[in-house]
Amino acid sequence: MSEIFLAFVGNANSGKSTSAKHLAKELDLPVTTGSNILTKLADERGIRLGAREDYAKFQKSLRDELGPAFLMDISLRGASGRGVLIDGLRNYNDSDLFQSVGGITVAIWCPVEVRFRRGLERSSPKDAATFEDFIAAEADEYADPDPRGIHLLQIMQMADYHIDGNQPPESVITQANQILELVT
């Protein structure tokens, strides 16, 4: 099997992590997430990240310092000789770098109400406590005026494949497996 570079893109709580973890286990590939990379870099600098907005602000400051595609650069350096699965792709620079290595993107679409409920169920400090706050955080990810910033909706629309995330986890995984069969 040749190297596999597969990235899942979608909103918070859409099913990206579920799909990436399942395929990573099945293929014995590493999974990298922007959140984990940002958390590690913040810890190294003594910075505590909490809310979703904290991650976005820290990411912006690191783009200024480390370059516009630093998250993808770090993710690709962590790839095994067989490839890598990316859990979360959010901007043009990362997308361009990922495509330059033959990466395939999969968007997972899921209604905001369902994703908010999933966030409440998992109780992550990154997730907003109110629906209004959840919507506001998401709006920032859709309308970043910085061309190097987060442009989630556009990246999702440009994806090579699309999954309906408004399904039980087993169905989302089945859809991811079907895409994997097409690309391997």
Structure confidence at residue 96 (pLDDT):
92
Inter-residue contact 7 to 104 (CB < 8 Å): yes
Give the pLDDT mean for 49-74. Answer: 89
pLDDT at 146 over 90: no
Strands 83-87 and 31-33: parallel
pLDDT at 174 over 90: yes
Give the pLDDT mean for 58-65. Answer: 92
User: Can you tell me the distance from the alpha carbon of 131 to that of 147, in angstroms, rounded to the nearest whole number?
Assistant: 27
- DSSP, collapsed to helix, strand or coil, labels residue 22 as helix
- pTM, full prediction: 0.86
